């Protein structure tokens, strides 16, 4: 465990170091202004091995547990990194688990070269399910439309989550298949490209066996997406706070730094408490996520994402307020962070949607809500100590 913590810290420190050096100032601004996609940058990250972190060693990856992606996503959030990071780090790791799935060549290629995977999942929201669309699998044919898919235009492989008679299925689809239509869409998130994916009777060769095991895979993909987005939002909040504190000590009005005014200080203190609380929630969730059952993972990821959706957006809004007029311009960093936070807020559920999900689990699930206190002991189990 200690080794793993140490590796994780080293990896995220290396990510931070690289991004600080190679992804700042003009380069980042150019990428943010041009829609969030540059093949060269994606290839650079592939060269660095970032997509291989959680891929099993048997598939050429580094074999880290998925939870080690968490601190890396905090760095992605802090540096406002563009691109299909979620899809490219998470999907290869989940699809290549030896017992789960036969790996597809396109997945391995994506890890090595940075050509993206796209996750065509109508389940990114329940409250807007009708607006987002649906995909069904029937007689090995995929049919349906998903109205917002990240980086579908750039993808070398579509990972499609479809509803079948007996549950959910995960299908691999070649985007050049004649039955696939991809329509470009405008994006309001400076880090992300969106497209509409229309599937008309696509024959799904890579369809996995349909059944409980696949329902479980779908549930785990969605939970990990929630948890990693929560981590990214935590990084977004943290950096927005750092920018703000720096500004408050420099900007002067009435012959004093504005950070000396109590009205300003109290907002900054609330930002800090929110940011710290979110960071600690993410770390605590990651600490148990690898060993969690599907139901436990669902609950802890929904909880982290529900809080992240609310807390990070609040921190970003306070950051803009404390930057005054500057905060409202594209000159200021904090406005970019805010737009990204707003886009992530609803991806895999905003706080309103997820609180319903959590409340339903507590109020109607078969397992009693308070059966297991040990997960919530103030004092963790520890080896006996000498005095």
Partner 1 sequence: MTTQVESLDSFRTRARAWLAEAEPPRVPLDLDGRFEVLRQWQKSLFEAGWIGIAWSKEAGGQGLSHMHQLVFVEELVRARAPQPIGLIGLDVVGPSIDLYGSDWQRTELLPRLLSGDDIWCQGFSEPSAGSDLASLRTRAVVDGDDFVVSGQKVWTSWAHMAQWCALLVRTDTSVRKQAGISYLLVDMSSPGITTSPIEQMTGDREFCEVFFDEVRVPRQNLLGSLNEGWSIAMHTLGTERAGATLRRRVECEVALDDAVAQLRQHGANGPEADRRARAAIGRAHVALRVLDAQTRQTTARLIADAGPTPVDSVDKLLLNEIEQVVFSEIAGLLGPLRAVPGSRPHGLQSERWTHEHLYSRAASIYGGTSQIQRNIIAERLLGLPRG
Residues forming contacts to partner 1 in the complex (CB under 8 A) are 245, 248-249, 256-257, 259-262, 264-266, 268-270, 272-273, 276-278, 280-281, 283-285, 300, 303-304, 306-307, 351-352, 354-360, 362-364, 369-370, 373, 376-387
For partner 1, the closer CB: 210 or 301 = 301
Picking from 16, 110, 11, 135, the residue whose alpha carbon sits closest to that of residue 59 is 110
For partner 1, the closer CB: 176 or 386 = 386
Paired tokens of 44: 């650079």
For partner 1, the closer CB: 130 or 377 = 377
Phi, psi of 270 (to 5 degrees): -65, -40
Residue 279 CB, nearest approach to partner 1 (Å): 9
- What's the CA angle centered on 332, arms 86 and 40, to 5 degrees? 40
CA distance 179 to 2: 49
Residue pair 30/40 in contact (Cβ under 8 Å)? The answer is no
For partner 1, the closer CB: 93 or 289 = 289
Residue 384 CB, nearest approach to partner 1 (Å): 4
For partner 1, the closer CB: 195 or 264 = 264
Residue 328 CB, nearest approach to partner 1 (Å): 22
Residue 19 CB, nearest approach to partner 1 (Å): 24
For partner 1, the closer CB: 305 or 339 = 305
- Helix/strand/coil (H/E/C) assignment for every residue in 301-337: HHHHHHHHHHHHHHHHHHHHHHCHHHHCCCCCHHHHH
CA distance 292 to 286: 10
Residue 307 CB, nearest approach to partner 1 (Å): 5
Phi, psi of 23 (to 5 degrees): -130, 70
Looking only at the bridges linking them, the beta strands covering 117-120 and 157-164 are parallel
For partner 1, the closer CB: 110 or 244 = 244
Residue 374 CB, nearest approach to partner 1 (Å): 9
Residue 272 CB, nearest approach to partner 1 (Å): 6
- Helix axis angle, 262-289 relative to 212-250, nearest 10°? 150
CA distance 135 to 188: 25
Phi, psi of 306 (to 5 degrees): -60, -45
For partner 1, the closer CB: 2 or 379 = 379
- Helix axis angle, 85-95 relative to 212-250, nearest 10°? 150
Residue 40 CB, nearest approach to partner 1 (Å): 38
Paired tokens of 87: 């899809």
Burial class (CB in 10 A: 0-12, 13-18, 19+), 384: exposed
């Amino acid at each position: 465990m200690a080794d793993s913590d140490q590796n994780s810290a080293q990896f995220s420190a290396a990510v931070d170091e690289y991004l600080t050096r190679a992804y700042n100032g003009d380069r980042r601004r150019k990428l943010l202004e041009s829609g969030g996609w540059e093949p060269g940058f994606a290839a650079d990250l592939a060269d660095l091995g970032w997509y291989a972190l959680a891929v099993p060693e048997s598939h050429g990856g580094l074999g880290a547990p998925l939870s080690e992606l968490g601190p890396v996503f905090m760095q992605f959030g802090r540096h406002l990194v563009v691109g299909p990071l979620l899809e490219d780090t998470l999907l290869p790791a989940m699809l290549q688990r030896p017992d789960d799935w036969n790996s597809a060549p396109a997945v391995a290629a994506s890890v090595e070269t940075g050509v993206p995977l796209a996750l065509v999942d109508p389940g990114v929201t329940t409250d807007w399910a009708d607006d987002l669309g649906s995909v069904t699998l029937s007689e090995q044919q995929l049919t349906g439309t998903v109205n917002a898919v990240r980086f579908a235009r750039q993808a070398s492989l579509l990972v499609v989550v479809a509803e079948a008679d007996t549950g959910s299925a995960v299908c691999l689809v070649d985007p050049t298949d004649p039955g696939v239509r991809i329509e470009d869409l405008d994006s309001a998130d400076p880090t992300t490209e969106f497209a509409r994916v229309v599937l008309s009777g696509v024959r799904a060769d890579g369809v996995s066996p349909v059944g409980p095991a696949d329902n479980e895979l779908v549930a785990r993909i969605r939970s990990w997406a929630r948890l990693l987005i929560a981590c990214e939002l935590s990084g977004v909040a943290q950096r927005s706070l750092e920018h703000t504190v720096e500004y408050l000590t420099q900007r002067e009005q009435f012959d004093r730094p504005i950070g000396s005014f109590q009205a300003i200080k109290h907002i900054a203190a609330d930002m800090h408490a929110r940011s710290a609380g979110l960071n600690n929630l993410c770390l605590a969730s990651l600490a148990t996520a690898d060993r969690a059952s599907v139901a436990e993972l669902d609950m802890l990821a929904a909880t982290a994402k529900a809080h992240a959706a609310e807390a990070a957006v609040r921190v970003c809004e306070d950051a803009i307020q404390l930057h005054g007029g500057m905060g409202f311009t594209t000159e200021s960093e904090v406005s970019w962070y805010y737009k990204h936070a707003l886009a992530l807020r609803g991806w895999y559920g905003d706080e309103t949607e997820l609180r319903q999900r959590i409340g339903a689990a507590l109020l109607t699930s078969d397992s009693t809500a308070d059966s297991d206190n040990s997960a919530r002991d103030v004092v963790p189990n520890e080896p006996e100590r000498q005095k």
